[in-house]
Amino acid sequence: MPRPIFNEPGLTYTGGLSPMDGNEAPLHNRDEFQLERLILFTDAVFAIAITLLIIEIKVPELHHGASESAILAHLAALTPKFIGFFVAFFIIAIYWLAHHRVFRFVTRYNNRLIWLNILFLLSIVLMPFTAAFQGEYPLLRTPWVLYSLSVLFTGFMQLCLQAYIRNPANGVAPAIFATHPDLDLVRPLVPMSLFVVSILLCFISSPWVCKLFLIVMAPAMMLYGRRYRRLLHEYEHPVVVV
| 99-132 tens-digit pLDDT | 999 999 998 889 999 999 999 999 999 999 999 8
Count CB neighbours of 29 within 10 A.
11
> Global pTM?
0.80
Question: What are the residues whose beta carbons fall under 8 Å from the beta carbon of 155, sequence distance 6 or more?
Answer: 95, 188, 189, 191, 192, 195
Q: What digits encode the pLDDT tens for the residues 203-218?
A: 888 878 888 888 888 8
Of the candidates 32, 43, 132, 162, the residue with the CA atom closest to the CA atom of residue 93: 43
**Over residues 219-238, mean pLDDT:** 91
**Over residues 4-33, mean pLDDT:** 46
Q: What digits encode the pLDDT tens for the residues 127-148?
A: 999 998 988 888 889 999 999 9
**Residue 92 in contact with residue 147, Cβ under 8 Å?**
no
Q: How far is CA 89 from CA 31, 38, 52, 83, in A?
A: 32, 23, 10, 10
21 confidence band (pLDDT: 50, 70, 90): very low
pLDDT at 56: 78
Of the candidates 17, 170, 23, 196, the residue with the CA atom closest to the CA atom of residue 106: 170
**Residue 16 in contact with residue 3, Cβ under 8 Å?**
no
Handedness of CA 131, 132, 133, 134 (dihedral sign): positive
pLDDT at 36: 87
pLDDT at 168: 93
At residue 105, φ and ψ (nearest 5 deg) are: -90, -15
